Amino acid sequence: MYKTYKDLPAEPVASQSTEDVMTGTWRTIRPVLNQDKCIRCYMCWKFCPDMSMTVEKEGDYPSVDLDHCKGCGICSNECPRGAIKMVREIL
Amino acid sequence: MIEMMNANHAAAHAARLARVDVAAVYPITPQTTISEKLADMVEKGEMDAKFMLMESEHSAMSALIGASYVGARTFTATSSQGLALMHEMLMWAVGARRPIVMPVTARAIGGPWNIWGEHQDVITERDTGWLQIFCENNQEVLDTVLMAYRVAEDPEVMLPIMVIEDGFILSHTVDNVDIPTQEQVDRFLPPFKPEYPVDVDRPMRHGGLMMPDWWTEFRYLIYQSQEVARGKLLEAEKAFEEIFGRSYGGMMEYYKCEDADAILVVAGSAAGTAKEVADRYREEGKKVGVARLRVFRPFPSEEVRRLGEMARTIGVFDRSYTFGDGGAMFNEVRSALQPMDSIIKDYVSGLGGRDVTVKYMEWIFDDLLRIAAEGKVDRTVEWVGLKDGTERW
Amino acid sequence: MESTETTKRYKFTIPKEEYLTPGHSACPGCGEPLAMRYLLKALGPRTIINVPAGCCAVIPGVWPRYGVKVPFVDHAFECTAAVSAGIKAALDKKGVEDVTVVGWAGDGGTVDIGLQALSGAVDRDTDFMYVMYDNEAYMNTGIQCSGATPCGAWTTTTPGGKKVQKRGKKKILDMMIANGIVYGATVSVAYPDDFIRTIRKAKDIKGPKFIHAYSPCPSGWRMDPRKSIEVARLAVRTGAFPLYEYYDGKFSFTKEIKKRKPVEDYLRLQGRFRHLTPAQVAEVQALVDREYEALVAKVGASGR
């Protein structure tokens, strides 16, 4: 998008989203959700610092956004039913 | 309407006429009466601005950056320690491209304490990217604040501007000042319309972390804007003259410089003294001229080189000392004259409120004429007025 | 499968709309993006945030990207509240009344270097919300001790652990109350519903508001990122970080803990406290007890 100084806005303003930064490449462990145990309380969605445990609408099971999940494990720790296991990534 | 007033009140009137939206102030001698006058005008309903009493100069500049982002026309004034305290935010204001206009009553920076007029505080800020304009008299202060808003807010410039009054000399001495009408100023100054305002309907991030891959290019844009500002300053002055009937000679005012043997470059109120001496010397057949350096940033390199064509011997008056190979103004003039065959000398004087008397100026012009005749300089820097037991001045 | 039973049972108890985008640069398990996420869920899009140097200057990405969906103004370290005040003054002048101005700074940027500007803005009754996200040290520069670092904590500048003293962290909320805030509260990322409720309540109160947000830092506290929320919850449950509010001259608990857990449960999970001897842990417990009892007394005196 920006090739030379002539393409730049006159002020240092940023307006592109960070969504194309693939922070998923950071992780060494990955959450795996077991839907049989999941009670759809949405604690995992609530506590994800990376908005990477996504739920389309109420009633859906959550799913992991593997492009962005950093593998912090909060979702696994907070799940009241132990429905999320952290699994080693294949590096 | 002509009234007797000092430069501080003139600056305050200019802020009122410019329809400043937000003024954030903090007291410091000799600027304080600007804030007091603003307070008075706001209280009486003569000025419709948000008047913020800040807890420090650093906070004052910070508040204005925030306000300017939303699209407010902003104003503050400071001096010396206060200017130094806001140094970090002066640099931020440039990087953030905020067109803040700030009169500075130039004063010495301690320690030890000295509250009187000198250029050290503003010269110290020449690296920030602020435009800097030195005024010779109270009228020029009022007029320059108005012209500054027009130039600063130009979308091709968008840089803050310092309007410099010599501390105590201009800030506190009274002179005739013609206060323009609101109608005249409204014709001269359009409202402030930033291109990237902070706006909830158009969210973006302003001033966020910039990596090495693009920093250079954004700094280059600032450099380009400073260059464009040269033309904009001249345009603004022309438009000003059409409405108000006054002008100041652009970046550098040449006074009796044609056919001169020696010319003194001087900024601020001391130029007035120099002109008076030059008048008398010219009557006596001594061919001297005064080049009043009005705009210091961007530096008037072309105008200085034109000087070099008018006379071979150039003296530079430094009302500060920055401990280089000579003072700051001297070095910048010498640098611009570098391709020419000039003889240049630095005269440091008027520090910490020391009066630049007619006698000092006569000594300087005599010295310059002697150098012009001999064709060479005796020393790079002369501290004029120094109590060195020689009784020269 | 969609049924009335489904929609009745499976609910988002906090607003669904996101104002932060993934792909930001926070450490895994960082509390700060959660804190800002909850703040913006509570305040909505008519919000302007200004942020000084600190983790939050780096977390939302680098130019030309940014990970927040409201206007975001960066500036130098010590002037958060001053910039907020300037933004608010300009909005007032322009007649814009329904935009919330939030000064969002870290603990170092508030209780140490940002104190002067904060004091001035509060003293002038600036109508804005100041949120201090507290990860208890200068984390962005690599874990140095700040005025909000708790007693006993290891940091790079207190390698032997910050000396346990008569008082713990700087009592910034008390200082702000004396300074003249109209509303103050502590919030924690472990209690999102309470966080959002508190912010919403604060939003509707005119005047300077101070929110002290607890934000766990797995990197700086030397702990497993998995435990980030658990540690934050234990901070509340042990009384190390009580959840309370101040409004209209009165103190009240937003979450009263009748039977506090021993503070050791909280300290044990964090590497920054690993070096504490049992005697020092007892000193920390005594400090927590003293301060919690003082808060209970204040709440009692408020008649709540």
Nearest chain A residue to C36 by CA: give it: A49
Q: Within a domain: residue B261?
A: yes
Name the percent of chain C lying above pLDDT 90.
Answer: 92
Tell me what the pLDDT averaged over chain B comes to: 97
- pLDDT-based confidence at B315, cuts 50/70/90? very high
By the CB < 8 Å criterion, does B216 face chain C? Answer: no
**Same domain flag for B45 and B177:** yes
Interface of C with A (CB under 8 A): 1-2, 6-7, 9-14, 18, 20-26, 28-34, 37, 60-61, 63-67, 189, 192, 218, 224-230
By the CB < 8 Å criterion, does B206 face chain C? Answer: yes
Nearest CA of chain A to the CA of C266: how many Å? 16
In the prediction, which pLDDT does A1 show?
80
Contacting residues of B for A9, CB less than 8 Å apart: 195-196
**For residue range C242-277, what is the model confidence (pLDDT) as tens digits?**
999 999 999 999 999 999 999 999 999 999 999 999
Q: How many domains does chain B have?
A: 2
H/E segment holding residue B145: helix B138-152
CA atoms within 13 A on the CB side of B59: 23
Contacting residues of B for C124, CB less than 8 Å apart: 52-53
Nearest CA of chain A to the CA of B222: how many Å? 9
**Same domain flag for B232 and B259:** no
Nearest chain A residue to C4 by CA: give it: A59
With 0.90 as the threshold, say if the pTM is over it. yes
Q: Which residue segment(s) compose the domain that B161 sits in?
A: 2-244
Q: B216-246 burial string, b = 16+ CB within 10 Å, else e?
A: eebeebbeebbebbbebbeebbeebeeebee
DSSP C109: I
- Average pLDDT for residues C169-184, to the nearest whole number? 97
In the prediction, which pLDDT does B393 show?
87
Residues 54-83 of chain C whose Cβ lies under 8 A from any Cβ of chain B:
57-58, 60-64, 66, 68-76, 78-79, 82-83
We report the CATH number of the domain holding residue B101 as 3.40.50.970
C80-93 helix and B57-70 helix, angle to the nearest 10 degrees? 40
**For residue range C140-155, what is the model confidence (pLDDT) as tens digits?**
999 999 999 999 999 9
Give partners of C (≥3 CB pairs < 8 A): A, B
DSSP B209: -
By the CB < 8 Å criterion, does B211 face chain C? Answer: yes
Q: Within a domain: residue B388?
A: no
Residues 6+ apart with CB under 8 A from B135: B7, B141, B144, B163, B164, B165, B170, B268, B269, B294
Nearest to B292 by CA among B255, B322, B324: B255
Question: Collapsing DSSP states into helix, strand and coil, what is residue C124?
Answer: coil
Nearest to A16 by CA among B387, C109, C61: C61
Mutation target to probe the C interface, by most C beta carbons within 10 A, among A13, A17, A54, A57 is A17
| Number of Cβ atoms within 10 Å of the Cβ of B370 | 12
- In Å, the largest CA–CA distance within chain B is 70
Contacting residues of C for B69, CB less than 8 Å apart: 73, 87, 90
By the CB < 8 Å criterion, does C16 face chain B? Answer: no
Contacting residues of B for C114, CB less than 8 Å apart: none
DSSP C259: S
Q: Inspect the interface and report whether the beta carbons of A27 and C28 lie closer than 8 Å.
A: yes
**For residue range B84-127, what is the model confidence (pLDDT) as tens digits?**
999 999 999 999 999 999 999 999 999 999 999 999 999 999 99
In the prediction, which pLDDT does C166 show?
63
Cβ contacts below 8 Å, chain B against chain C, sum to 150
Contacting residues of A for B206, CB less than 8 Å apart: 11-13
**Partner-chain residue, chosen from B155, B203, B207, that has the shortest CB–CB distance to A10:** B155
Nearest chain C residue to B55 by CA: give it: C120
Contacting residues of B for C68, CB less than 8 Å apart: 203, 205
Mutation target to probe the A interface, by most A beta carbons within 10 A, among C12, C59, C196 is C12
Contacting residues of B for C120, CB less than 8 Å apart: 54-56, 59
**For residue range B193-204, what is the model confidence (pLDDT) as tens digits?**
999 999 999 999
- C304, pLDDT greater than 60: no
Sign of the alpha-carbon torsion through C218, C224, C228, C232: negative
**Same domain flag for B275 and B298:** yes
**Same domain flag for B314 and B232:** no
Nearest CA of chain C to the CA of A69: how many Å? 8
**Same domain flag for B266 and B317:** yes
CB B129 within 8 A of CB B69: no
Q: Within a domain: residue B140?
A: yes
**Same domain flag for B286 and B156:** no
Q: Inspect the interface and report whether the beta carbons of C57 and B205 lie closer than 8 Å.
A: no
Nearest CA of chain A to the CA of B23: how many Å? 23
Task: Render each residue's pLDDT in chain A as its tens digit; 91 residues.
Answer: 899 999 999 999 999 999 999 999 999 999 999 999 999 999 999 999 999 999 999 999 999 999 999 999 999 999 999 999 999 998 7
Q: Give strand pairing partners of B314.
A: B263, B344
**Same domain flag for B262 and B210:** no
Q: Inspect the interface and report whether the beta carbons of A14 and C61 lie closer than 8 Å.
A: yes
**Partner-chain residue, chosen from A22, A40, A78, that has the shortest CB–CB distance to C10:** A40
**Same domain flag for B284 and B238:** no
Tell me what the pLDDT averaged over chain C comes to: 94
Contacting residues of A for B97, CB less than 8 Å apart: 10-12
- C6, pLDDT greater than 60: no
User: What are phi and psi for residue C225, nearest 5 degrees?
Assistant: -60, -30
Contacting residues of B for C45, CB less than 8 Å apart: 200, 203
> C265: which 2 tokens?
């449960």
Q: Inspect the interface and report whether the beta carbons of B217 and A10 lie closer than 8 Å.
A: no
Q: Inspect the interface and report whether the beta carbons of B221 and A4 lie closer than 8 Å.
A: no
Q: Inspect the interface and report whether the beta carbons of C24 and A18 lie closer than 8 Å.
A: yes
Nearest chain A residue to B194 by CA: give it: A11
**Partner-chain residue, chosen from B206, B214, B221, that has the shortest CB–CB distance to A13:** B206
**For residue range C105-152, what is the model confidence (pLDDT) as tens digits?**
999 999 999 999 999 999 999 999 999 999 999 999 999 999 999 999
- C1, pLDDT greater than 50: no
Nearest to C9 by CA among A44, A54, A58, A79: A58
**Same domain flag for B197 and B223:** yes
Nearest to B113 by CA among B361, B352, B364: B352
Name the percent of chain B lying above pLDDT 70.
Answer: 100
- Average pLDDT for residues C62-86, to the nearest whole number? 97
Q: Classify domain A32-91 at the CATH topology level.
A: Alpha-Beta Plaits (3.30.70)
Nearest CA of chain C to the CA of B1: how many Å? 29
**Same domain flag for B192 and B162:** yes
Q: Inspect the interface and report whether the beta carbons of B198 and C82 lie closer than 8 Å.
A: no
Q: What value of ipTM does the predicted structure carry?
A: 0.96
Nearest CA of chain B to the CA of C85: how many Å? 6
Nearest CA of chain B to the CA of A80: how many Å? 38
By the CB < 8 Å criterion, does B221 face chain C? Answer: no
Nearest CA of chain B to the CA of A11: how many Å? 6
Contacting residues of C for B92, CB less than 8 Å apart: 75-76
Q: Within a domain: residue B391?
A: no
Contacting residues of B for C87, CB less than 8 Å apart: 66-67, 69-70, 198
Q: Inspect the interface and report whether the beta carbons of C86 and B52 lie closer than 8 Å.
A: yes
Say whether domain C21-301 belongs to CATH 3.40.50.970. yes
Q: Within a domain: residue B97?
A: yes
By the CB < 8 Å criterion, does A76 face chain C? Answer: yes
Contacting residues of A for B95, CB less than 8 Å apart: 12
Nearest CA of chain C to the CA of B145: how many Å? 20
Nearest to B73 by CA among B153, B132, B138, B139: B153
By the CB < 8 Å criterion, does A14 face chain B? Answer: yes
Where do we find the tokens 């309470």? C194
- pLDDT-based confidence at C39, cuts 50/70/90? very high
Nearest chain B residue to A14 by CA: give it: B205
DSSP E strands, chain B? 2-5, 22-25, 50-53, 74-75, 101-106, 131-134, 161-166, 175-178, 205-206, 252-255, 262-266, 288-293, 295-297, 313-318, 343-348, 381-383
Nearest CA of chain C to the CA of B188: how many Å? 22
Q: Within a domain: residue B149?
A: yes
DSSP B99: -
